Amino acid sequence: MPARKYKPSALARLKDTFKDDGVVLPAMERHVMRKMAGDPRPDDHSLDYIHPSDMCKPEWCGRHDYYRMVGTPYEKEDLANPSFRMGNVWSEGHKIHDKYQDWLTEMGVLWGTWQCRECGHAFEALSPPECESCGSLRLRYREVTLRRDDMLIEGHADGAVHDLDDWSGLVEIKSIGIQTVRFEAPRLYNRYADDNETLESVWWKINRPFPSHVKQGMLYLWLAWPRYKQIVFIYESKWNQAVKEFVVSYNERVIAPLLEIAAEVTRAVELGVPPDRPVWAESSVGKTCKSCEYRRACWDLGPVEVESPGLKVVVNKTTSSKRKAALS
């Protein structure tokens, strides 16, 4: 697989690492950025399913998922945009997940899919001491895969705990930084940005899981029902490593609108007809639509080549709203 081209801004960042202002760190930055460009962030999400991590976002578009699931080609080149800071953020997030999963494994209560680092064998088990195929002790936890083929939804929960003081349920691990607060709890963020509240004070005012996290958790429980009926959110603060826990029981009303859209997408895939756009998609030049890989297919935009004898004309199709206005 050939390496992707860099975005100009990313190329400038990479060139900056060659300046003679360090020894170890510039070389490390170059290593991380090149690794991210040649091997983008690993993602085991199937292209054939809708994913809860997308569904719980305010800008989720089922029509976008439809185009992805039916194999519509991307309409723009995927330029690499690596940065050492972003690589560091992803790595730190993985490390936070790993430590809680390691502790739950040591406690003998972590259920899920495991993969052997020696022979590659994958299997489901409860905190296994070794690979069931080759006996190797080098195992990697691959989380909990949850899938409903009738609705084409697939998710990966961070973990499932079995028989911990007679409690079983799913676990989601979230590392909370100030940018998380900014997007998930803007009023609380404003107390920090505008009212000079300390990060410590902001952290202790988080007394419930954020709405998008709850939606994601409810989708996981819907996928896992009736095996699991509760989910635990473990929040760890990035700025002081303080930890808090929230236990949430399944409530389908929270995700009923999302499931309706998912059902529409599933039917659309079966029929081969795109579902309706979300209500916030008012034009092809909107912020979210403008950056979509399927924008031209979705909005029926050109250019379309129209051939006539001895002449080839390029016609740019206009939007449906402009066509209706012209006819009125």
Mean pLDDT, residues 120-128 taken together:
97
Report the C-alpha gap between 28 and 317 in whole angstroms.
48
Mean pLDDT, residues 184-193 taken together:
92
User: pLDDT per residue over 55-86, tens digit each?
Assistant: 999 999 999 999 999 999 888 655 656 676 66
What pLDDT does residue 11 have?
67
* Window from 66-70, 174-178, 192-196, 318-322 with minimum mean pLDDT: 318-322
Higher pLDDT, 24 or 14: 24
Higher pLDDT, 273 or 12: 273
User: pLDDT per residue over 228-250, tens digit each?
Assistant: 999 999 999 999 999 999 999 99
What pLDDT does residue 310 have?
44
CATH code for the structural domain at 48-80+94-269: 3.90.320
- Per-residue pLDDT for 137 more than 70? yes
How sure is the predictor about 46, in pLDDT bands with cuts at 50, 70 and 90? confident
Angle at 270 between CA 266 and CA 274, to 5 degrees: 70
Domain ranges of the chain: 48-80+94-269, 281-327
What pLDDT does residue 31 have?
72
How sure is the predictor about 216, in pLDDT bands with cuts at 50, 70 and 90? very high
What pLDDT does residue 84 have?
64
Report the C-alpha gap between 281 and 100 in whole angstroms.
39
What pLDDT does residue 65 have?
96
What pLDDT does residue 195 have?
83
What pLDDT does residue 39 have?
52
For the chain, percent of residues with pLDDT exceeding 90: 64
Which uninterrupted H or E stretch holds 17? none
Rounded to two decimals, what is the model's pTM?
0.82
Mean pLDDT, residues 110-117 taken together:
97
What pLDDT does residue 309 have?
43
What pLDDT does residue 186 have?
94
Mean pLDDT, residues 45-57 taken together:
92
- Per-residue pLDDT for 264 more than 80? yes
* Window from 153-162, 186-195, 213-222, 315-324 with minimum mean pLDDT: 315-324
Task: DSSP for 107-139, please give it.
Answer: TT-EEEEEEETTT--EEEEES-SS-TTT--S-E
Mean pLDDT, residues 163-187 taken together:
95
What pLDDT does residue 317 have?
45
- Per-residue pLDDT for 87 more than 50? yes
User: Which of 44-48, 115-119, 302-306 holds the top average pLDDT?
Assistant: 115-119
- Per-residue pLDDT for 278 more than 70? yes
> Which residue type occupies 250?
Y
Point out which residues pair with 305 in neighbouring strands: 314
Q: Which residues contact 40 (CB under 8 A, 6 or more apart)?
A: 4, 80
227-256 in b/e burial notation, b at 16+ Cβ within 10 A?
ebeebbbbbbbbeeeeeeebebebeeebbe
What pLDDT does residue 222 have?
98
